[in-house]
């Protein structure tokens, strides 16, 4: 672990030579919440949600995940399989030193599901925004309109070409079309001008086929909140509707109306409210 020396605040998590910068905020003794961002974003996407959770007494940790910073951007696609993403998250929890509430959006939700499947005893609760259980999503791709809606995932499997496209103005326009504001789309598109970070994010998609099949069938027994938004053009409701099949513990679905895929940026007040309710329903913070 890495701290800045002020009241034990973390500045980074470490695993296998990788350094994951983290924004550690809120009351130092507050119940810990780990906030996992999606693609093409980084920890800044959680800024407003974190502030609201901090005001409610929670301590939040918002790391830059594997591939989102130069200090944690391995070169090869197989290094981004779900097995590694789950191990990163569980290592972060171990460094925090106690079970945490894990919240993920987009690819961060996939990592959160994988962590809950691999090490549920280290989670107090799970909240997945936008992206359903990996097995439910895979089923939806094969059997519903989710397959055509995920066209970009197939494009990203190609070498070199996606990296070039991400550095053009076309990608920023695509982000705007999916619901991002001009300010947020500029923030997220600007990151991808760094070749290593562009490659790292794309490798989340390219590494998925190397993931253990156990993530497709693994069940989750921690209290789970699934949040979806009906303006999401990337993730349709078909996978959300299948996710309950993989939940052995308390499970709840909430749909945010008239909100795009970019839930933490677009609806931070609604997200914070749902999370605080969810954390409260998950029981006291003793070791599970």
pLDDT beneath 50, residues of the chain: 5, 286-288
63: left (phi over 0), alpha (psi -120 to 50) or beta: beta
Cis amide leading into 115 (omega within 30): no
* Residue-wise pLDDT tens digits, 172-187: 999 999 999 999 999 9
pLDDT at 1: 58
Check if the beta carbon of residue 127 is closer than 8 Å to that of residue 225. Answer: yes
What gap in Å lies between CA 223 and CA 213, rounded to an integer?
23
Mind listing the domains of the chain with CATH numbers? 2-281 (3.40.50.1820)
Check if the beta carbon of residue 272 is closer than 8 Å to that of residue 56. Answer: yes
> CA angle, corner 158, sides to 38 and 197, nearest 5?
40
What gap in Å lies between CA 155 and CA 159, rounded to an integer?
9
pTM of the full structure: 0.95
pLDDT at 6: 56
* Residue-wise pLDDT tens digits, 89-130: 999 999 999 999 999 999 999 999 999 999 999 999 999 999
């Amino acid at each position: 672990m890495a701290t800045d020396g002020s009241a034990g605040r973390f500045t980074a998590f470490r695993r296998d030579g990788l350094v994951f910068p983290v924004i550690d905020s809120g009351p130092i003794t507050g119940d810990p919440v780990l906030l996992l961002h999606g693609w093409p974003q980084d920890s800044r996407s959680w800024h407003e949600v974190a502030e609201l959770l901090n005001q409610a007494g929670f301590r939040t940790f918002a790391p830059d995940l594997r591939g989102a910073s130069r200090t944690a951007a391995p070169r090869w696609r197989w290094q981004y399989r779900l097995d590694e993403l789950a191990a990163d998250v569980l290592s972060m929890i171990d460094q925090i030193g106690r079970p945490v509430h894990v919240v993920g959006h987009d690819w961060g939700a996939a990592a959160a599901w994988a962590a809950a499947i691999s090490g549920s005893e280290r989670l107090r609760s799970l909240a997945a925004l936008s992206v359903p259980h990996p097995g439910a999503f895979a089923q939806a791709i094969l059997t519903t309109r989710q397959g055509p809606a995920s066209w970009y995932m197939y494009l990203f499997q190609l070498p070199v070409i996606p990296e070039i496209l991400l550095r053009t103005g076309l990608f920023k326009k695509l982000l705007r079309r999916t619901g991002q504001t001009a300010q947020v789309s500029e923030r997220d598109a600007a990151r991808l001008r760094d070749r290593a970070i562009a490659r790292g994010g794309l490798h989340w998609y390219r590494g998925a086929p190397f993931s253990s099949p156990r993530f497709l069938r693994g069940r989750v027994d921690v209290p789970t909140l699934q949040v979806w938004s009906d303006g999401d053009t990337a993730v349709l409701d078909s996978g959300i509707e299948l996710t309950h099949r993989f939940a052995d513990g308390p499970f709840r679905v909430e749909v945010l109306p008239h909100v795009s895929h970019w839930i933490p940026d677009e609806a931070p007040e609604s997200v914070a409210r749902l999370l605080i309710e969810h954390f409260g329903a998950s029981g006291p913070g003793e070791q599970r």
